[in-house]
Amino acid sequence: MTFISGEEVAKHNTRQDCWVIIHGKVYDVTNFLPEHPGGVKVILDQAGKDATAVFDPIHPRDIIETHLPPEACLGEVDPATLIQTAKVKTVETEEEKRRHELIKKKPALNEMLNLFDFEAVASQVSTAEAWAYYNSAADDEITHRENHNAFHRIWFRPRVMRDVTHVDMSTKILGHYSSFPLYITATALGKLGHPEGEVVLTRAAYSHKIIQMVPTLASCSMDEIANVCGKGQVLFFQLYANQNKDITRRVIQTAEAKGCKALFITVDAPQLGRREKDMRMKYVNAPPDIQDEKELNRNQGAARAISSFIDSGLNWNDLEWFRSVTSMPIVLKGIQTLEDAVLAVKYGCDGIVLSNHGGRQLDFARSGIEILPEVVEGLKKKGLLNKVEIYVDGGIRRGTDIIKAIALGAKAVGIGRPLLYAMSSYGQAGVERALQLLKDEVAICMRLLGANTLADISPDMVDIKNLATHVYTPKDYLYSGAYERLVPRRSKL
């Protein structure tokens, strides 16, 4: 292996001649620049430098081997010069200093009593970028808040005088055992929240015997995730279809070969929603030389930076092609109407997720839980209900939320952000505790409802007469913050 000095690397810092250091290796990425899904600019910012810290949270380790020809690796950087780079890096910003103080003061894990506690801690101890990316949602974030609020419009009709000494909350999702009716849904960029990324969730899923859906845009590679799986652990795979069908095929087939048991195709994101918290973060952090309009358009937050590969042409006719490249069951993630639920069944899908992408896509999309009765009733009328499993995600924060979804006909629910918050603030132990808290809440809720098993939780145990009534006008924080009240002028007379 050739050794190259840091000074030498630094000379290759232009669009015509661009080298970067990643994990101690020097790469010539000049020819790759136009192909980078995140755009040229983000790489050019790192030209001639050690890009590892910027690279790691976004990319799985094996992406270099899969995207760059072997000759792009020019050698290893001289370790002596790397030490210098590391020294420069350890200068802490004020923001980081404050964060490290807060980390020292964070409550003990056993003080976390519900998922909101984790969210509160994560908002303090996460890096500004991680918080902006995980917490952000579309436009005025009205759907984001509505996702949880909708559960407040469902009330219980508990049954009493039943022997509830034993409760069994286990179920099967697409035929696979799950200790309770919840799976970890796909969320991108795990390493923003924790240096190890998604494998933290994989390990916690195993210890709780639940299923994890692996995201296309994980920070860990499929290999890294499969390698930490326990015996018999089940993974599903979430797909963002690539405009290049060969890549899509390869991604699906790799997931299947690594043992994933179902393909969840995301159908609600042909274009990424505007997540302004995320976008603003990049604006603040952008170096002064790219704070002009033209460059800013390319620099619209972590999500948009890596989303340009997504196929906005995805349509119902593609389902036949998906069937031809995989034998995994196919589930559409992001169904939001009965009409599309019917089409999903007609096109032979095995499941649907009623989801609005955690409120990150179309603001004013209804919550999954609100759509559930409409879909269940409609499919039942058409004799199609037994053809698909129905899942709901968005806004699940309590055991009672899970039971409400089960009562209304969901097979299971997905959960995303809350576990990222638990992971960002307390690592694997945090995720395990968050899941345990949910399990405890589910058990209590079942007992107090008079249900021994999930099958005993029936639609007549919930009162949904107000579910679809949006009686309260959602608060529009941006509008209210900007609105100037009309103050009548007082006459001086």
Instruction: Name which of 355 and 400 has its Cβ closer to ligand 173.
Output: 355
Please identify which residue in 217, 412, 420, 462 interacts with ligand 173, judged by CB under 6 A.
217
- Catalytic residue, candidates 268, 278, 363, 393: 268
Tokens of 385: 């209900």
Q: How far apart are CA 227 and CA 197, in angstroms?
A: 14
Contacts of 80 (CB under 8 A, 6+ apart): none
Q: Taking the CA atoms of 476, 482, 488 and 490 in sequence, report the sign of the dihedral they define.
A: positive
Residue 192 in the binding site for ligand 173 (CB under 6 A): no
Neighbouring-strand partners of residue 28? 19
Taking the complex as a whole, the smallest distance from the CB of residue 115 to ligand 173 amounts, in Å, to 19
Residue 307 in the binding site for ligand 173 (CB under 6 A): yes
Taking the complex as a whole, the smallest distance from the CB of residue 179 to ligand 173 amounts, in Å, to 27
Instruction: Name which of 171 and 238 has its Cβ closer to ligand 173.
Output: 238
Instruction: Name which of 280 and 447 has its Cβ closer to ligand 173.
Output: 280
# residues contacting ligand 173 (CB under 6 A): 9
Residue 405 in the binding site for ligand 173 (CB under 6 A): no
Taking the complex as a whole, the smallest distance from the CB of residue 312 to ligand 173 amounts, in Å, to 12
Residue 272 in the binding site for ligand 173 (CB under 6 A): yes
Tokens of 2: 């050739």
Tokens of 204: 């916690």
Taking the complex as a whole, the smallest distance from the CB of residue 371 to ligand 173 amounts, in Å, to 19
Instruction: Name which of 78 and 198 has its Cβ closer to ligand 173.
Output: 198
Residue with the shortest CB distance to ligand 173: 307
Q: How far apart are CA 305 and CA 143, in angstroms?
A: 23
Instruction: Clarify whether 268 is annotated catalytic.
Output: yes
Q: Kindly compute the dihedral angle of the four CA atoms of residues 219, 223, 229, 232, in this order, to the nearest 10 degrees.
A: 130
- Catalytic residue, candidates 12, 357, 393, 421: 357
Tell me the window of 220-228, 299-307, 334-342, 454-462 that interacts with ligand 173 (CB under 6 A): 299-307
Q: How far apart are CA 250 and CA 183, in angstroms?
A: 25
Tell me the window of 92-100, 205-213, 300-308, 365-373 that interacts with ligand 173 (CB under 6 A): 300-308
Taking the complex as a whole, the smallest distance from the CB of residue 246 to ligand 173 amounts, in Å, to 20
Residue with tokens 């030490």: 83
Instruction: Name which of 52 and 242 has its Cβ closer to ligand 173.
Output: 242
- Is residue 358 exposed (0-12), middle (13-18) or buried (19+ Cβ within 10 Å)? buried
Contact status, residue 42 vs residue 286, Cβ threshold 8 Å: no
Tokens of 317: 């006719």
Please identify which residue in 58, 115, 188, 407 interacts with ligand 173, judged by CB under 6 A.
188
Tell me the window of 31-39, 143-151, 301-309, 348-356 that interacts with ligand 173 (CB under 6 A): 301-309
Contacts of 443 (CB under 8 A, 6+ apart): 167, 169, 399
Contacts of 451 (CB under 8 A, 6+ apart): 159, 162, 164, 167, 457, 461
CA end-to-end span of the chain, whole Å?
A: 89
Taking the complex as a whole, the smallest distance from the CB of residue 289 to ligand 173 amounts, in Å, to 25
- Catalytic residue, candidates 27, 134, 183, 240: 240
Encoded one letter per residue, x for contact with ligand 173 by CB under 6 A and - for no contact, window 360-389 reads: x-----------------------------
Tell me the window of 82-90, 121-129, 302-310, 426-434 that interacts with ligand 173 (CB under 6 A): 302-310
Residue 169 in the binding site for ligand 173 (CB under 6 A): no
Instruction: Name which of 12 and 282 has its Cβ closer to ligand 173.
Output: 282
Encoded one letter per residue, x for contact with ligand 173 by CB under 6 A and - for no contact, window 336-365 reads: ---------------------x--x-----
What does DSSP assign to residue 260? -
Q: Where are the alpha helices (DSSP H) in 12-155?
A: 40-44, 52-55, 63-67, 79-89, 94-104, 115-125, 128-135, 142-149
SS3 state at 453? strand
**Backbone torsions φ then ψ of 77, nearest 5 degrees:** -75, 145
Taking the complex as a whole, the smallest distance from the CB of residue 309 to ligand 173 amounts, in Å, to 9
**Backbone torsions φ then ψ of 366, nearest 5 degrees:** -75, 165
Please identify which residue in 173, 200, 306, 330 interacts with ligand 173, judged by CB under 6 A.
306
Taking the complex as a whole, the smallest distance from the CB of residue 357 to ligand 173 amounts, in Å, to 6
Contact status, residue 351 vs residue 262, Cβ threshold 8 Å: yes
Instruction: Name which of 360 and 404 has its Cβ closer to ligand 173.
Output: 360
Q: How far apart are CA 33 and CA 230, in angstroms?
A: 39
Tell me the window of 93-101, 303-311, 405-413, 455-463 that interacts with ligand 173 (CB under 6 A): 303-311
Instruction: Clarify whether 426 is annotated catalytic.
Output: no
- Checking DSSP bridges between strand 155-156 and strand 462-463, what pairing results, if any? antiparallel
Instruction: Name which of 272 and 419 has its Cβ closer to ligand 173.
Output: 272
Instruction: Clarify whether 27 is annotated catalytic.
Output: no
Number of H helices, E strands in the chain: 21, 17
Binding site for ligand 173 (CB under 6 A): 188, 217, 269, 272, 303, 306-307, 357, 360
List active site positions. 240, 268, 357
